[in-house]
Amino acid sequence: MPAVNPSPSSPNDAGKPATRRTSWAEAAAAADATKPSRAPSPAPAPPVPPTRQPASDPAGAAIASVPSGAPGDAAPEAAVPPSDAPSETPSFRRSRPTVADAIEGSPMPDFISSPGLFVKEQKPRPVGGIRGALYKLSGGAWNLGPGPKQRQEDELARRISRQLQGSYNTAILSLKGGIGKTSTTVGVGLTLAEYRGDAPCAIDANPDSGDLVERALGEGIYQQASPRTITDLLENIESIDSLTALARYMHHAGRLHLIAGEQDPEVSDSLTAEEYLRIRKLISSYYSVALTDCGTGVTHNAMSGILQSADNLVIAAGYAVSGAKRARSTLHWLASHGYEDLARNAIVVITDKDEVSSRVDKDAIEEHLAGICRELIAVPHDRGVADGDLVTLDVLKPETRRAYKEIAAAIVDGYR
């Protein structure tokens, strides 16, 4: 019997193999494209089994069977796209987030910049007073934190120890001797050395045989050592290329490093502005903070170099009408000679060195000077300062040490 081909073929299809067509898959794809995003997926319609009519051609080869849904059938059975109406028995599946989904969706914490998220902050330990006593008696179980006084001390220490970018120089000067200029330099220098991570340097540029190193070390210890002075440093400055080489010309009072002034009266006043600037340039390579004891007056040879390289000033004064007038005159001279910024940002330190009588109106003197400077700090009378000998922080009154801390903090605040 001859084979029957249900689909007519065009002349162009002659000689090509018959192709299997799946009309139900096309219908399912169209249904998926039109269904709502959250609607359950309908089950695809089962394919219509093809009607196979075996036949053989004259050569004995079987003709490929064609599904009844192929084009050209009298009654094609294509799958009908599902309607929008929900099925009678919809199947829903509740989706619960897993641990991996929760971790992926949550922001990643910063372990470096936010360590407080993982470690409970501990209160600072109180020192002294009732709070400190309770802390010791309870073995640390009762920690009320530091009191107001300790918090103020901690804030001063933070200001003093502030990290600096570069090297800075503070000049301590006065128009009158014997009012606490050198003792302020030593006391503030020792305070900076106590709280700062880097050692400070103090330079004795007093043209009148300054005694900065004697006040920091004690005269007996200084005389026993091989005294190197600022003159020796200048003579060999070209050969100094390291801190080790520089240390041979310096003295050390703990962590405070000092350059002694010239003691020979014939050459003590020979330091020029250019020579001081050479020393300042050398010191700036190894020290971030330098203090310069300028001696008395503002017109000696080295003073122009000192003021030119200074970042801020400390004006020493005393509780006397003449001392207050000299301090005010110094600030006016600076402002009128091109150092207005130094005068405006100066720190005036009034030292009660001679323990003035009650007839002196200290408040009036302080008010007289406070309006023409950045800050005014008073140093109370203290025999450890007034004796004119060795200055050590251990023997000073707490009020004196607190005043030196305030001066040191004000100095570092001025380094911008």
- At 106 the pLDDT is 66
- At 220 the pLDDT is 63
Chain-centre distance of CA 122, in angstroms? 21
* Stated pTM of the model: 0.68
Residues 375, 232: Cα–Cα separation, whole Å? 37
Q: Which two tokens stand for residue 238?
A: 């070209």
Answer for the pair 180, 236: CB distance below 8 angstroms, yes or no.
no
- At 271 the pLDDT is 86
- Neighbour tally for 337: CB within 10 Å: 13
Answer for the pair 162, 412: CB distance below 8 angstroms, yes or no.
yes
- At 312 the pLDDT is 95
Residues in the chain: 416
- Looking at the DSSP bridge assignments, the partners of residue 227 are none
- At 94 the pLDDT is 56
Residues 125, 7: Cα–Cα separation, whole Å? 97
- At 86 the pLDDT is 52
- At 49 the pLDDT is 54
- At 63 the pLDDT is 42
- At 42 the pLDDT is 55
Each residue's pLDDT, cut to its tens digit, for the chain (416 residues) gives 455 454 444 445 455 455 455 555 666 566 666 555 554 555 555 555 555 554 444 444 444 444 444 444 444 444 555 555 555 555 555 566 666 666 666 666 655 566 556 666 667 777 777 777 777 788 777 777 777 888 888 899 999 999 999 999 999 998 777 788 999 999 999 999 999 999 999 999 988 778 899 899 987 666 666 678 899 999 999 999 999 999 999 999 999 999 998 877 666 667 899 999 999 999 999 999 999 999 787 878 889 999 999 999 999 988 877 777 888 888 888 999 999 999 999 999 998 877 766 677 788 888 878 778 899 999 998 988 887 788 999 999 999 999 999 999 999 999 98
Residues 233, 257: Cα–Cα separation, whole Å? 14
Which ranges of 84-145 would DSSP assign to H, the alpha helix?
A: 99-105, 129-137
- At 323 the pLDDT is 74
Q: Find where tokens 């003691």 sit.
A: 263
Q: Quick one: CA dihedral 242, 248, 251, 254, positive or negative?
A: positive
